[in-house]
Amino acid sequence: MQPDQPIGIFDSGVGGLTVANAIRHLLPDESLIYFGDTAHLPYGDKSKETITYYSEHIAAFLLEQQCKIIVIACNTASANAYEDVVKLIGNQALVVNVIDPVVEYITSQENISTIGVIGTKGTINSGTYEAKIKNTSPRLSVVSMATPLLVPMIEEGFIFDDISNAIIRSYLSKKELNGIDSLILGCTHYPIIKNQINKFYNFKVNIIDSSKIVAMNLRKVLLANKLVNTGGNTQMRFYVSDYTDYFKAISKLFFEEDILLEKLNLWK
Catalytic residues: 74, 187
Sheet holding 141-146, edge to edge: 141-146, 114-119, 182-185, 206-208
Q: State how far the Cα of 37 lies from the Cα of 9, in Å rounded to an integer.
A: 11
